[in-house]
Amino acid sequence: MGKDSRLILDPLTDNNPITIQVLGICSALAITAELEASIVMSISVLFVMGVGNVVISLMRNIIPSKIRIIAQLIVVATLVIIVDLVLKAFAYELSKTLSVFVGLIITNCIIMGRFEAFALGNGPWRSFLDGIGNALGYGIILVIVGFFRELLGSGTLLGIQVLGDPIEKTGLYSIGYENNGFMLLSPMALIVVGIIIWIQRTRNKDLIED
Amino acid sequence: MGLKQNLHNFKEKNKDKKWLPGFNALFTFLYTPNETTHNGTHIKAADDLKRTMNTVIMALVPCLVFGMFNAGYQHYLAQGLIDSADGFLGASFWTWDNFVIGLWKVLPLVAVSYGVGLAVEFVFAIIKGHEVEEGYLVTGMLVPLIVPVDIPLWMLSVAVIFGVVIGKEVFGGTGMNILNPALTIRAFLFFAYPTWMSGDKVWVHGAVERDAAIAAGENLDAISGETLLGYYAKAGQELTVAGTDTVTTYGARAEELYSYADMFWGIIPGSVGETSKFLIVIGALFLIFTKIGSWRIMLSTVIGALVMGLIFNGVVDAGWIGESSKFYGLMSVPFWQHLIIGSILFGAVYMATDPVTASQTNKGKWIYGFLIGFISIMIRVFNPAYPEGVFLAILLMNVFAPTIDHYVVQGNVKKRMKRLKAKVA
């Protein structure tokens, strides 16, 4: 059982897909300006990876290895379309914010990477755990980045004004505080991810590459 | 033996304490330490890092003092309390009142810049267990000179922390940075708080409060605190002169308000230290004379700016662009005038020449400087949001400087190989 739990815990910390493997960076930069979008994106990836890994794992013995990439693409594309349609049906505003990036989950390197590296060689239960673990590892970084970008960039969290009203000048704004517009631009997401990587590697020196 | 010996003994006693680098920094600031190197080759040179930095700071002091006078002068002029000074030695410019206002506004900027920046340096020195690096001395002086006079101090502190940590310390500290830290700080301010870094309210002290008072119904003359670049960027647009019914254009108003002499001597609104082209040229000569700044970079930057200006003038002369175009205003500025409006000279002399982030090879310096000037004017004309591009151009070329050097060195290697082959054959 200890081995199985590592499948979930490792990607959260010392084998994190974003900060250690540096995969899935594009979406981490693009949609983390708001916490809500980050959370929805994380849940979408969680669904796609969990189900996708299981499906690929079940089919692993019947997929000819020459066309396995195409087979994987079909599975992930099907799942992403389901997510996209669900979002459009039940959270239309949000799906407009996420726009093309839901569709681009298909090209998220983490998903194809886990299919190739894990699901093709392991049973469904372990593949499921691996998919959930990596999606959580991806999601936790997205949520951290989204938290700081929304808090410092817009002064809100999940759309609620936690620092006061910038127009009415209440709360922090009454003493001259202003939102940091740089936080809303993509380069700042890169820098926030960079800072997380920095802190993580300072705490655990084993992670530093030469 | 007095204080110095006591401090030295204190240092010996606390050799393995964590905070020793912090103490060392203060100690070496006051005295030359007693230790000498005992083994290995060493060269005794007078122009160490501290002296190099101090030379640049000396070259900046005239700009800073002038900036203080100018801050007060623009403040009083905007309120209509004094007459326009006629030229550099105008009676209403070098007054005690101007200086006091300027000192009151600019000194806190200097204090915050140095205080916060050096605190970050100390923290990192203690974490790394190194000696404190002197790299911040010049940056700390440059920062107050390249921000608007009314910038809130907490914003400046946030930007300084960001600039020093992300612009310098993550790369390994002084000498290892890719981007110029002072410009990183300015870029951060510009992207994070654009309303405080551009427009017509920030360049003159008190403009925001005055505007609020007018909006509240007080009977005051509205002032216009545009920089010259702001005027030229909107040259064709109509403007109602504050307090009157006269309708004119921004371009015409700029000519009415500021003469070429004003621009050269620097009695125009702008960032604190970059307005006086005269003092910048003096500083440039000083840096060239002391061999601290690279004349190649300064000269090639100016040439690059002039060439781009000439191209734009050519485009206007050829009639490829109509007066209705939003680029017409800045494109039709005479090419040489680009040097005396905006901060291209300040950037060329004090920013582009930063020995760490500039190209190292002589040929590379020419290319690097030329492209800075060229791109600066290009951004200045085409940037829709902000009519100045010097800091963006320099940051961009900072990134490309190692690439330029690489190709210059490779070219040299190839040339020599060819020569060698010819000789052998």
Please give the pLDDT value at position A177. 81
3-class SS at B247? strand
Gap from B80 CA to chain A (nearest CA, Å): 28
Q: Return the number of other C-beta atoms located less than 10 Å from residue B216's C-beta.
A: 7
pLDDT tens digit sequence for A22-32: 787 877 788 88
pLDDT tens digit sequence for B53-107: 888 888 999 999 988 888 888 888 777 677 776 666 667 778 888 888 888 889 9
| B156 inside domain | yes
- Give the residue numbers spanning the domain of B154: 3-33+49-196
B155 in contact with A at a CB cutoff of 8 Å?
yes
In contact, B329 and B235? CB cutoff 8 Å: yes
| B126 inside domain | yes
| B384 inside domain | no
Task: Note whether A181 contacts B188, CB cutoff 8 Å.
Answer: no
Q: Return the number of other C-beta atoms located less than 10 Å from residue A54's C-beta.
A: 18
Please give the pLDDT value at position B416. 93
A208 in contact with B at a CB cutoff of 8 Å?
no
**HSE-CB of B18 using CA atoms within 13 angstroms:** 5
Of B53, B25, B51, which Cα lies nearest the Cα of B123? B25
pLDDT tens digit sequence for B393-410: 999 999 999 999 999 999
Cα B319–Cα B324–Cα B330 angle in degrees, nearest 5: 75
Q: Is the pLDDT of residue B299 over 90?
A: yes
Please give the pLDDT value at position B89. 64
Distance CA A194, CA A185 (A): 15
What is the pLDDT confidence band of residue B1, given thresholds at 50, 70 and 90?
Answer: low
Using an 8 Å CB-CB cutoff, list chain A residues near B195: 178
Q: Is the pLDDT of residue B219 over 70?
A: no
Q: Confirm whether the ipTM is greater than 0.85.
A: no
pLDDT tens digit sequence for B182-200: 999 999 998 888 888 777 6
Residues sharing a CB contact under 8 Å with residue B196, sequence separation 6 or more, in sequence order = A178, B148, B150, B151, B152, B155, B189, B202
B172 in contact with A at a CB cutoff of 8 Å?
no
Better-predicted residue by pLDDT, B411 or A98: B411
Q: What percent of chain B has pLDDT over 90?
A: 24
Closest CB to B166: pick one of A181, A185, A191.
A191
3-class SS at B352? coil
| B8 inside domain | yes
Please give the pLDDT value at position B413. 94
B193 in contact with A at a CB cutoff of 8 Å?
yes
Closest CB to A198: pick one of B155, B170, B196.
B170
Using an 8 Å CB-CB cutoff, list chain A residues near B191: 181-182, 185
What is the pLDDT confidence band of residue B243, given thresholds at 50, 70 and 90?
Answer: low
Q: Which residues of A146-160 are buried (b: 16+ CB within 10 A; e: fewer)?
A: bbbbbbbbbbbbeee
Q: Is the pLDDT of residue A80 over 60?
A: yes
| B102 inside domain | yes
Q: How many domains does chain B have?
A: 1
Residue in the block written with tokens 């740089």: A182
Using an 8 Å CB-CB cutoff, list chain A residues near B150: none
| B90 inside domain | yes
Using an 8 Å CB-CB cutoff, list chain A residues near B193: 178, 180-181
Gap from A21 CA to chain B (nearest CA, Å): 20
Task: Note whether B152 contacts A176, CB cutoff 8 Å.
Answer: yes
Cα B173–Cα B176–Cα B178 angle in degrees, nearest 5: 115
Using an 8 Å CB-CB cutoff, list chain A residues near B188: 182
Rounded to 5, what percent of chain A is helix, strand, coil?
Answer: 75, 0, 25
Using an 8 Å CB-CB cutoff, list chain A residues near B194: 181
| B164 inside domain | yes
In the structure encoding, which two tokens stand for residue A179, read together? 């939102």
Closest CB to A180: pick one of B152, B170, B192.
B192
pLDDT tens digit sequence for A112-161: 888 888 888 888 888 888 888 888 888 889 899 999 998 888 888 887 88
